[in-house]
Structure 1
Amino acid sequence: MRHVVLPDESRLDILRGVDLDVAAGDHVAIVGRSGSGKSTLLNILGMLDEPSSGTVAFRGREVRRIRRGPLDRLRGREVGFVFQQFNLLAGRTATENVVMPLGYTKGRTFWQRARIARDMLERVGLGHRLDTPPERLSGGEQQRVAIARALVRRPALILADEPTGALDVDTGAAVMALLDAVAAETDAALVTITHDLHVAARARRHYRLVDGRLESFELETAIAASPLAAVTR
């Protein structure tokens, strides 16, 4: 459960009774309206936030029992985040942004970190933008840099918050294919937060958040029931 206390001292429940297990190699999609708690759930899964009650475990270890320093290192090593806001560093090139997670590695990976970053940028179609800072990139290009940064350490858990939100249909499909491919290469778990049912359709398991509660649903039925186009007046 996750709740916040409002200025009038009333309590607002954001998540209630959420029960979710994600295994290696799994791909889970979570859909829901804006404000339904999707990003809050993703932050809890990624060990950025703690639940108000209940437990979160990673590889069998209860997260709240891990001290801050080891937890930060665990998160940096094992979790790849694709944030809606991109969170790229202005004034740094695309390569420098993607290199950053590799600065804490050791051995060959550390010494070859620039090449590894460039290779990942090539995979997301930005080989011609290696030396370009975020402020000179389009929103879609910034999104792809953020995705390259999330994947460059080959994390065990990939958390993608609206990964195709700033992309056109064709680029979005290519990016989702890349997320799937990298996850398959390393047997990583992939959790995708999206409002797009067709993006969610790539996952093996599908959930929606309704009033802070997580419930599974049959995606084929939901897609069939959603209009391809609609006009209201």
Structure 2
Amino acid sequence: MSALSLRGVGRRVALPGGGHLDILTGVDLDVASGEHVAVVGRSGSGKSTLLNIVGLLDRPTSGQYLLDGRPTAELSARRTARLRGATFGFVFQQFNLLPGRTATENVAAPLLYGSPGEFLARRATARAVLERVGLGERLDALPEKLSGGEQQRVALARSLVRRPRVLLADEPTGALDVDTGAAVMDVLEELVREDGTTLVTITHDLSVAARADRQFRLDHGVLSELRPGSVADLTAHRETV
């Protein structure tokens, strides 16, 4: 059974002057537990909307979304929020770190809303995850004292601190240079592989997409799977021209 399953999912919004805009149209997607899939597409193609639906931040206006085989359409807002917090971690292009808070405090923030046990152990848990991403020497550093790559690692640690079953990464290397981005992806993939975490990456960077088990293209709201190796072949071609 797939961890995530979308069938005919669409997202339509009303336009101020009348009419509507279809952001997603008939999206079918199955992602197995522990799999890494990447979705590529140009700006405005609907990538972030798709990620928001998968992460229960938005609802489709048509179709069906199954999470662990269970339909999500009838969930109450409260149940949806609980399920989102228990299931998903999010990594964004912008690091969104809290200014004036140390790396440890930033990573511990999601545990403030966890179980009593998570709350009491939040600092120790945060430090352990920071050590896993290679920041054991930067536990008390403020965001403004960290490099871009270090800030993204803090953001990554924060997304993993509650040990999510599914990690959703929206342009995770978009604010980084090529070498730093590759290093961050190395850390990300190592951690999700160790934990058996399902990873869905949204990116316009073909070199990032090529690292996934499967790749999809989203074009004008329509999702299609790319043939095996096609993204890697195109990336290699670009690097030689």
Indicate whether the TM-score tops 0.5.
Answer: yes
Deviations 1:61-107 (A, max 9, x none): 22221222222121111100002232222222221111022234446
Distance in 1, Cα, partners of 2:231 & 2:31: 22
Contact 1:3/1:13 (<8 A) preserved = yes
Q: Tell me the amino acid that sits aligned with residue 30 of structure 1.
A: V
Aligned partner of 1:123 among 125, 129, 132: 132
Aligned pairs, number: 230
Match of 2:106 among 88, 97, 113: 97
Q: Sequence identity of aligned pairs in percent?
A: 60
SS of the residue 2:21 aligns to: strand
| C-alpha distance after superposition, 1:103-124 (max 9, x if no partner) | 3444654433212211222232
Structure 2 unaligned regions, length at least 5: 1-9
1:219 positional shift: 5.4
Q: Distance in 2 between the 1:71 and 1:92 partners?
A: 29
The C-alpha deviation readout for 1:42-70, integer Å capped at 9, x for no partner, is 00000000011112221222222122222
- 1:22 alignment partner, one of 15, 31, 38: 31
Q: 1:203 aligns with which of 191, 205, 212?
A: 212
In the alignment, structure 1 residue 34 sits paired with structure 2 residue 43:
yes
What does residue range 37-186 of structure 1 map to in structure 2 within 5 Å?
A: 37-106=46-115, 109-186=118-195
| C-alpha distance 24-224 of structure 1, shift in aligned 2 (>3 A) | closer
| Residues 164-183 of structure 1: CA deviation (Å, up to 9, x unaligned) | 12223333223222222222
Unaligned runs of 5+ in 1: none
Matched-pair contact (CA < 8 Å) for 1:154–1:182: no
Q: Which has the higher strand share?
A: 2
Residue matched to 1:228: 239
The RMSD of aligned alpha carbons is 2.0
Q: TM-score, normalised by structure 2?
A: 0.86
Displacement after TM superposition at 1:229 (Å): 6.5
Matches of 1:91 and 1:106, distance apart in 2? 25
CA contact (8 A) 1:86 1:143 kept: yes
